[in-house]
Amino acid sequence: MTRTARAYTNIALIKYWGKKNKQLKLPYTNSLSLTLDRFYTDTKASIVDSDQDIIYLNQQLLDDAHSKRIRNYLDIVRQFYSFSEHFQIDSVNHVPTSAGFASSASGFAALAAAVNETKQLNLNRRELSILARNGSGSASRSIYGGFVEWIAGNDNASSFAQPIDEHPDIDLSILSVVIDTQNKKISSTVGMENSVKSSPFYPNWVTLVTSEIEEIKQAIAKKDIQKIGEISEHNAMSMHALTLSANPSFTYFAPETIRIIQIIQELRQKGIFAYATIDAGPNVKIICTKESLPKVQTYIEQQLSNVTTVVANIG
């Protein structure tokens, strides 16, 4: 039996930053994202007569070290659903690293869905979201399109994403600005752990997210794009304040990241709609409208010669 599944990546407007249970990937707070239309992972799962999983990523066989995370994940799936067969996984990422989006969200969502189909587990979308979350927290949200909220929950069964509006009729696009950087990446897992452990502001983050989630949901319902932009940018900056205030301090920002944040402020002063959101890396995702996007893109490309820009819409 072989089945294929596709999942799209998402960008968090209200970020997930901190696990209260590392093993189950239970977050301290809810988070809220926008699924995009351009970047996705296609994953094929086939049952094989072997006592080991065989993992191909982008047509390359992964060695033990590189496939460990996926094999550990498949062990969790086997344990959850009490079966013993192993898989050959063929996963192709259409999330170019040059687009600056993480592939773990679409990757684990597609893997969970492919295994569900191949093993005929008949999981509903909530159960699929739970299964995807066990691979990567943000993957729980990639089970749905549009605006999605991940409910933090208290145990495996109560931590899942749910759609807010899967087909929003709203004028928002995302311009990803990819910074060419040699910076060594601190994984989101390590970054979260250090922030929770040592930022004096972590308790405030939990309070802030709780209120910002409610505010942004109201803004989404009213299609108040300016409010959505303002809340998203403030939330992202607050997340990065947790890394700067950790002890020892660290940051995902590169010099160009700061420059782009300033450019976005300049654009707003000129009356052009642009708000920043930044994940666990130096690249900036700019929330634009259809009208502002070409202006923002041209301005950024004029001001910075060593960046690439990629456009995505709601998916």
Binding site for ligand PMV (CB under 6 A): 12, 15-16, 31, 102, 104, 136-138, 188-189, 279-280
Shortest distance (Å) from residue 250 CB to ligand PMV: 14
Polymer length of the chain: 315
Q: Are 137 and 19 in contact (CB under 8 A)?
A: yes
For 50, phi then psi, to 5°, come to -155, 160
- Pairwise CA distance, residues 274 & 255, whole Å: 19
Nearer to ligand PMV, 249 or 298 (CB): 249
Shortest distance (Å) from residue 303 CB to ligand PMV: 25
Shortest distance (Å) from residue 240 CB to ligand PMV: 10
Shortest distance (Å) from residue 85 CB to ligand PMV: 27
Shortest distance (Å) from residue 222 CB to ligand PMV: 23
- Pairwise CA distance, residues 147 & 14, whole Å: 11
Give ∠ CA 54-60-61 in degrees, rounded to 5: 30
Type of residue found at 280: A
Write the DSSP assignment of 191-214 as a string of letters: HHHHHHHH-TTHHHHHHHHHHHHH
Number of H helices, E strands in the chain: 8, 13
Nearer to ligand PMV, 17 or 299 (CB): 17
Nearer to ligand PMV, 74 or 209 (CB): 209
Nearer to ligand PMV, 175 or 267 (CB): 175
Q: Are 163 and 144 in contact (CB under 8 A)?
A: yes
Distances in whole angstroms, Cα of residue 309 to Cα of each of 19, 41, 174, 293, 301: 32, 20, 10, 11, 8
- Pairwise CA distance, residues 47 & 83, whole Å: 12
Indicate the helix (H) or strand (E) that contains 82.
none
- Pairwise CA distance, residues 174 & 129, whole Å: 24
Shortest distance (Å) from residue 46 CB to ligand PMV: 26
Nearer to ligand PMV, 229 or 281 (CB): 281
Nearer to ligand PMV, 186 or 272 (CB): 186
Q: Are 18 and 29 in contact (CB under 8 A)?
A: yes
Indicate the helix (H) or strand (E) that contains 259.
helix 255-269
Nearer to ligand PMV, 26 or 267 (CB): 26
Shortest distance (Å) from residue 50 CB to ligand PMV: 29
Shortest distance (Å) from residue 280 CB to ligand PMV: 4
Nearer to ligand PMV, 16 or 40 (CB): 16
